[in-house]
Structure 1
Amino acid sequence: MSLPGRPDWSWQELGWYAVTLLLFAGLLYFADTREFLRAIARVDRSTFGIAVAVGLSSLFVWAWVWHRFFGQLGITATAAKTVRLFFSGHFLNSITPLGQFGGEPVMAYIIADTTDTEYEGALAAVVSSDMVNAVPFFTFTIGGVVYLYLFGSLHGFLFDVGWIALLILLVGGGLAYLLWSPDGTLGRAALGLLSAIERRVSWGEGVLQSLQDRVRRTEALFERAGRDRTFLLTTIAGSHLAIVAQIISLYVVFLAMDLEPTFVPLYFIVNLSTIATLSPTPGGSGTYEAAFSWLMTLFYSVDLATALTAAVLFRLTTYWPGLLVGFLTLLTLDREGDVEPPQDAEL
Structure 2
Amino acid sequence: MDWGQRRGLLVGGAAALAVLAVLFVVVGTDRVVESLLSADPALVAATFGLALCWLVTWSLMLRTVLGSLDISLGVTTAFLVYAGAVFANNVTPFGQAGGEPVAAALISRVSGSRYESSLVGIASVDVLNVVPSLSLVLLGVGYYATTAAVGERLEVAVTVAVALIAAIVTVIGLVWRFRRTVVERLPAAVGRLVGRFDRFDAERVTEGIGRRLRNFFEDIERVGTSPGRLAAAVGLSLTGWLFQSAALVVAFAAVGASIPPAVALFAVPLAYVAGATPLPGGLGGIEAAFVALLVPTTGVPASAVTAAVLVFRGGVYWMPVAVGGVSASVLGVRTVR
Which residue of 207, 212, 215 maps to 1:214?
212
Deviates more, 1:190-199 or 1:50-59: 190-199
Take 1:196 and 1:248, find their aligned partners in 2: how far apart are those partners? 48
Evaluate the alpha carbon distance shift between residue 31 and residue 121 of structure 1 in structure 2; reply closer, same or farther with a 3 A threshold: same
Take 1:47 and 1:196, find their aligned partners in 2: how far apart are those partners? 56
Evaluate the alpha carbon distance shift between residue 199 and residue 301 of structure 1 in structure 2; reply closer, same or farther with a 3 A threshold: closer
State TM-score, norm by structure 1: 0.85
Alignment of 1:1-347 (within 5 A): 2=1, 9-148=5-144, 153-174=149-170, 185-195=178-188, 204-337=202-335
Amino acid at match of 2:253: L
Work out the percentage of aligned pairs sharing the same amino acid: 24
Evaluate the alpha carbon distance shift between residue 308 and residue 159 of structure 1 in structure 2; reply closer, same or farther with a 3 A threshold: closer
Take 1:208 and 1:244, find their aligned partners in 2: how far apart are those partners? 44
* Contact 1:62-1:133 within 8 A present in 2 as well: no
Take 1:27 and 1:308, find their aligned partners in 2: how far apart are those partners? 9
* Contact 2:48-2:315 within 8 A present in 1 as well: yes
Take 1:234 and 1:48, find their aligned partners in 2: how far apart are those partners? 30
What SS does the corresponding residue of 1:74 show, helix, strand or coil?
coil
Cα root mean square deviation, aligned: 2.7
Evaluate the alpha carbon distance shift between residue 335 and residue 106 of structure 1 in structure 2; reply closer, same or farther with a 3 A threshold: closer
Q: Which runs of 5+ in 2 are unaligned?
A: none
* Contact 1:65-1:133 within 8 A present in 2 as well: no
Evaluate the alpha carbon distance shift between residue 135 and residue 87 of structure 1 in structure 2; reply closer, same or farther with a 3 A threshold: same
Take 1:137 and 1:100, find their aligned partners in 2: how far apart are those partners? 15
Evaluate the alpha carbon distance shift between residue 170 and residue 288 of structure 1 in structure 2; reply closer, same or farther with a 3 A threshold: closer
Take 1:213 and 1:331, find their aligned partners in 2: how far apart are those partners? 30
State TM-score, norm by structure 2: 0.87
What SS does the corresponding residue of 2:59 show, helix, strand or coil?
helix
* Contact 1:293-1:311 within 8 A present in 2 as well: yes
Take 2:18 and 2:165, find their aligned partners in 1: how far apart are those partners? 33
Per-residue CA distance 1:136-179 (angstroms, 9 max, x = gap): 22221122234455676444444444444444444444555567
Evaluate the alpha carbon distance shift between residue 175 and residue 79 of structure 1 in structure 2; reply closer, same or farther with a 3 A threshold: farther
Deviates more, 1:189-198 or 1:55-64: 189-198
Amino acid at match of 1:144: G
Amino acid at match of 2:313: R
Deviates more, 1:307-316 or 1:328-337: 328-337
Take 1:197 and 1:138, find their aligned partners in 2: how far apart are those partners? 35
What SS does the corresponding residue of 1:102 show, helix, strand or coil?
helix
Amino acid at match of 1:305: S
Take 1:187 and 1:68, find their aligned partners in 2: how far apart are those partners? 28
Amino acid at match of 1:124: V
Evaluate the alpha carbon distance shift between residue 11 and residue 165 of structure 1 in structure 2; reply closer, same or farther with a 3 A threshold: closer
* Contact 1:104-1:123 within 8 A present in 2 as well: yes
* Contact 1:297-1:307 within 8 A present in 2 as well: yes
* Alignment length (residue pairs): 331
Q: Which runs of 5+ in 1 are unaligned?
A: 339-347
Take 2:189 and 2:282, find their aligned partners in 1: how far apart are those partners? 39
Take 1:148 and 1:254, find their aligned partners in 2: how far apart are those partners? 18
What SS does the corresponding residue of 1:117 show, helix, strand or coil?
coil
* Contact 2:111-2:335 within 8 A present in 1 as well: no
